Amino acid sequence: MNILKSFENTEVAFKQKSNFQLRKAYLLFQFFAYTKLMRFANKVLLKAFKWHLPIDFLVRKTAFDHFCGGESIKDCQKAINNLHASKVGTILDYSVEGKEEDTYFDATTKEIIATIKEAATQRDKIPFSVFKVTGLAPFSLLEKVNSKQILNAEEEKEYIQVKRRIDAICQEAHKNHVKLLIDAEESWIQDAIDALTNEMMEKYNKEEAIVYNTLQMYRHDRLAYLQNDIAIAKEKNYKLAYKIVRGAYMEKERARALAHSYVSPIQIDKTHTDNDYNQALEICINQGIAICAGTHNEKSAAFLAEQILAKNIAPNDARFYVAQLLGMSDHISCNLASQGFCVAKYVPYGPVREVMPYLIRRAEENTSVAGQTSRELDLIQKEIKRRKNN
């Protein structure tokens, strides 16, 4: 079976999309291809929302509809069902960002727990829940913990509350046997996030892999970190689980390293990132460590599938998932799913105005990945032509 070649099958990739949806997607990715125009438009949109201009409808009918499931869990059901029809699971991702009040952190905790409960009622459709620690804690507090600074009394109290929020979420996931992904973030808060996540893995991953940490393989230290984690987990007798990604903060990471005169944590080039990414996949498969491989890279997705087959592991072994973002890389998601592999899509949701920072970041990341936009355009155009000729 040529896994990589199968990604060319656009009929399978876009089976759930109407002709109208295909043309709309084509126009959207054409817009992304004009990087300067797209970034200018993003700035205009942010100002328009700041000035409370009535542009919600425009955003909802364009980028929001393409990359998001809706404004609430209930709104996402159509996307959940459409993905399930292609044998692809859903990861409900509450994508409201940039708020730092306790009331927001508590509300976000409740929302994440709601996604876990929803996953428990739709196990065949929703294999994971997910959250970011910065959705539950002030960034500055995590930064202080990460740098091992002494917290004052108020900060100590606040950090205890952060731990309680995270524990409440993990406890709910454990109780409902729902796999829970904890996202990676900037390197200067990641040690703090790793410590919190490892504590939760040790507590809740005794019988099965529930809590997943995230490895960003564009960092040159993550393979060593993985090997160290394996040794610790064996010693303490709990199961490791990871989401494995390349990473989303490269430009910010390099700029900060330069500004603060320390060695950048980012790999020297993409080849090193790709090699470490695939090596991490192979290590985890060989060790039987549960993974969710988050990637839009065709070669890495094919590599994972080939490793599973080569080791005589059933394609539908739920320890080994591959995941992409809603609205992107359907040719990978749907074709792997059609061959029996475990696949899921991140389905972001939340109020339109509050999800805007996420959508803008998605658009900018999409244009920064070499060849991503042109690949999406080529495949959509190929499917439009195929349908016209049939």
> From start to end of 186-279, where are the E strands?
211-216, 241-245
Cα–Cα distance measured from residue 218 to residue 375, given in angstroms and rounded to the nearest whole number: 22
Domains of the chain: 3-389 (3.20.20.220)
Token pair of 141 as six digits: 């507090």
- Contact present, 15 and 86 (Cβ < 8 Å): yes
Torsion, Cα 342 345 175 177, to 10 degrees, reads 0
Cα–Cα distance measured from residue 78 to residue 364, given in angstroms and rounded to the nearest whole number: 27
Task: Please give the pLDDT value at position 368.
Answer: 56
322 three-class SS: strand
Cα–Cα distance measured from residue 260 to residue 121, given in angstroms and rounded to the nearest whole number: 48
Residue whose C-alpha is closest to residue 176's, from 195, 199, 148, 204:
204
Task: Please give the pLDDT value at position 61.
Answer: 81
- Read off the amino acid at residue 20: F
70: left (phi over 0), alpha (psi -120 to 50) or beta: left
Task: Please give the pLDDT value at position 74.
Answer: 98
Instruction: Tell me how crowded residue 267 is: count the other CB atoms within 10 A of its CB.
Output: 22
Q: In whole angstroms, how far apart are CA 47 and each of 42, 64, 198?
A: 9, 17, 40
Token pair of 297 as six digits: 């890279």
Work out whether the CA dihedral 206, 207, 210, 213 comes out positive or negative. positive
Instruction: Report the interhelical angle of 372-389 vs 19-33 (nearest 10°).
Output: 150
For residue range 91-111, list pLDDT tens digits in order: 999 998 767 889 999 999 999
Task: Please give the pLDDT value at position 271.
Answer: 96
pLDDT values of the chain reduced to their tens digit, one per residue, 390 residues: 699 999 999 999 999 999 999 999 998 888 877 767 667 666 776 777 677 777 777 778 878 898 999 999 999 999 999 999 999 999 999 998 767 889 999 999 999 999 999 999 999 999 999 999 999 999 999 999 999 999 999 999 999 999 999 999 999 999 999 999 999 999 999 999 999 999 999 999 999 999 999 999 999 999 999 999 999 999 999 999 999 999 988 889 999 999 999 999 999 999 999 999 999 999 999 999 999 999 999 999 999 999 999 999 999 999 999 999 999 999 999 999 999 999 999 999 999 888 877 777 766 665 555 567 889 999 999 999 999 998
Long-range contacts of 382-388 (CB under 8 A, 24+ apart): 382/10, 383/10, 383/11, 383/13, 383/14, 383/22, 384/19, 384/22, 384/23, 384/26, 386/10, 386/11, 387/19, 387/22
- Contact present, 247 and 217 (Cβ < 8 Å): yes
Task: Please give the pLDDT value at position 243.
Answer: 98
- Read off the amino acid at residue 142: L
